[in-house]
Structure 1
Amino acid sequence: MTFYKYQGTGNDFILVDNRGGAYSELTEEQIKHLCDRRFGIGADGFMLLNEQEGYDFEMVYFNADGREGSMCGNGGRCIVQFAHDQGIRKTTYHFIATDGPHDATIEDGEIALKMKDVDSIREYKTDSILNTGSPHYVQLDPDVMQLDVFKEGKKIRYSKDFAEDGINVNFVQVKEPDTLIVRTYERGVENETYSCGTGVTAAALVFHHNDNGFNAVNIETLGGKLTVRYRREPDGTFNNIWLKGPAIKVFEGSISTEAL
């Protein structure tokens, strides 16, 4: 199997061109092995680029635990760059993922991905919960770089309200009115990742700095910088949400599936 490794602000993925359908039968255990950083290739997630009628391609995403996952924002940006590198050349990409259709463009060498609209943000104690393609918990922290994200994130993710389905946990520091620092504990990886696209999107929506109208928020993560643009309507809904940042090919190689 020929594979390609990409990363988006340190969130890293194994990508496979599956337009011929050769790798559709990979098992949960095989994908988990591929993502293992000691015994496999190593990644936060695994993606198949599939053919899909009516779209430029289909994105099928698996978490590092081998299970098919919900939407991954950085993964979505990386698979657009991968599609471009594989010869799918478009001005605007239109693809389908588990949470529905997405558009994407390549701007100044970076990938801008349109995220799903968000209908509401739910208050939970003093924190916030919302779905940006994946479920996210957002908590404000005054000094996020000093926080034990693994310990605190795991505590929330496995608390009684979230243990069964899991939730991604984001800790957010407001650095400037339009700049946030975000660290994320991701379910499926069950650890902190260097960046989480749906997570930084969730953080940007929770800490919007204009009550209504257009917003643009700069995000700093362990793996680099992202921007989130969106429109907030008077009824509190969000639309025209775009996540933008780098998506970079790291290397390519081959691995025997018989050894998995």
Structure 2
Amino acid sequence: MRFTKMHGAGNDYVYVNCFAEPVPADIPATAIAVSDRHFGIGGDGLVLIGPSDKADARMRMFNADGSEAEMCGNAVRCVAKFVHDHGICRKDELRIETGRGVLTLQLLVEGGSVHRVRVNMSSPILRSADIPTTLPGDPPVRAPLEVAGRKLEVTCVSMGNPHCVTFVDQITDEWVHGVGPQIEKHPAFPRKINAEFVQVLSRSEINMRVWERGSGETLACGTGACASAVAAILNGLCDRTVLCHLPGGDLTLEWSEGGDVFMTGPATEVFSGVWNPSGAVR
């Protein structure tokens, strides 16, 4: 199986061009194997790029534990770069089919290759039942949540996948690695959830770390950054354009007056290779 390793702000996945390669027979098992950072290729998961009957390409994304996710903001930017740079569709604006629906992406091209991508992430989902969560409120803002012996106030948002945002004075490993996994699997979230921990720096700037559902801590989460910006705005902490600092790099988020959230960030191709059934890379 030929693959390409790519990352968006350090959120790295193994990408397979299913225009040219067959879809793996057992996708969850393949995702687990290739994601292993010691015995596999190494990554936060597996992304399949294939044909679509409604867009320029279709993206399917699988976490490092083999579970399929609805959407990944960093991955969809990399899919757009791959589709453009590898000649599948060389346009400056692409439509990519995702589990969230068809998204429109504007490509910032330099020297014939894509360096940054602006994505219309569509409108945030704010109704509790649709996120989904059993926490009160539509949207659930400053909702009470008891977890890990703490009484938290959280804000929940879906960007096609669910997010639980907690605002903290300082983001620590105790929050991310101690509290994050317990939020992920809390019974208030019937499909589990991504847990973001956010420090507000100003009306236009935040720091964020994330414990991702099915993958653990990652260096960046595009949908999580969008959800964190929306949560900060809903809580009256930020204006509608927010610069989000993540361990892997920066993303710019804008929640437009029309309701859609726009995300701009990098997309980087690292290397390509071949994965064989025994798990070796060459």
TM-score normalised per structure 2:
0.83
State the one-letter code of the partner of 2:271: F
Q: Does 1:89 align with 2:90?
A: yes
The 8 Å contact of residues 139 and 170 in structure 1, kept in 2 or not, is answered as: yes
Paired residues of 2:125 and 2:159 also in contact (CA < 8 A):
no
Contact between 1:45 and 1:62, CA under 8 Å: does it hold in 2?
yes
1:30-69 matches, cutoff 5 A: 30-69=30-69
Q: Distance in 1 between matches of 2:187 and 2:66?
A: 24
What's the CA shift string for 1:150-170, capped at 9, x where partnerless? Answer: 1110121122323x5210000
Q: 1:202 to 1:188 in 2, by over 3 A?
A: same
Distance 2:277 2:85 in 1: 24
Residues 226-245 of structure 1 mapped to structure 2, 5 A cutoff = 226-232=251-257, 239-245=259-265
Match of 1:127 among 146, 154, 171: 154
What is the DSSP-based 3-state SS (H/G/I as helix, E as strand, rest coil) of the residue aligned with 2:233?
Answer: coil
Q: Separation in 2 of the partners of 1:146 and 1:93? A: 38
Say yes or no: does 1:143 pair with 2:170: yes
Q: Is the 8 A contact 1:18 1:24 kept in 2?
A: no
Gap change, CA 1:253 and 1:117, over 3 Å in 2? same
SS in 2 for 1:42: coil
SS of the residue aligned with 1:122? Answer: coil
Which residue of structure 2 lines up, in the alignment, with residue 22 of structure 1? Answer: 22
Give the letter for the 2:177 counterpart: F
The whole-number CA distance in structure 1 between the counterparts of 2:279 and 2:221 is 31
Identity of aligned residues (%): 31
Aligned residues: 251
Q: Is the 8 A contact 2:243 2:253 kept in 1?
A: yes
Q: Counterpart of 1:111 in structure 2: which amino acid?
A: V
1:77 is aligned to 2:103: no
What's the CA shift string for 1:28-73, capped at 9, x where partnerless?
Answer: 2122111111111011121111111231000111111112212011
Asked whether the 8 Å contact 2:92–2:108 carries over to 1, the reply is: no
Structure 2 partner of 1:117: 123
Residue 256 of structure 2 corresponds to residue 254 of structure 1: no
State the TM-score, normalized to the length of structure 1. Answer: 0.90
Q: C-alpha offsets along residues 172-227 of structure 1, whole Å, 9 cap, x if unaligned?
A: 000111000011000110x211110000100101112897xx82110000001110
User: Contact (CA 8 Å) 2:124, 2:260: kept in 1 or not?
Assistant: no
Q: Distance in 2 between matches of 1:146 and 1:33?
A: 27
Pairs within 5 Å for 1:204-243 = 204-208=229-233, 215-232=240-257, 239-243=259-263
| CA–CA separation in structure 1 for the residues paired with 2:179 and 2:279 | 37
**Corresponding position of 1:152:** 179
SS in 1 for 2:271: strand
- Structure 1 residues 129 and 14: alpha-carbon distance in aligned structure 2, compared to 1, 3 A threshold: same
Q: In structure 1, list runs of 5 or more residues that go unmatched.
A: 234-238
How far 1:145 moved relative to its partner? 4.5
Partner residue of 1:203?
228
Asked if 2 retains the 8 angstrom alpha-carbon contact of 1:21 and 1:50, the reply is: no
Q: Could you report, residue by residue, the CA deviation over 1:104-146 in whole angstroms, capped at 9, with x for unpaired residues?
A: 0113631111112124232321211110111000000011156
**Deviation above 6 Å: which 4+ runs of structure 1?**
none
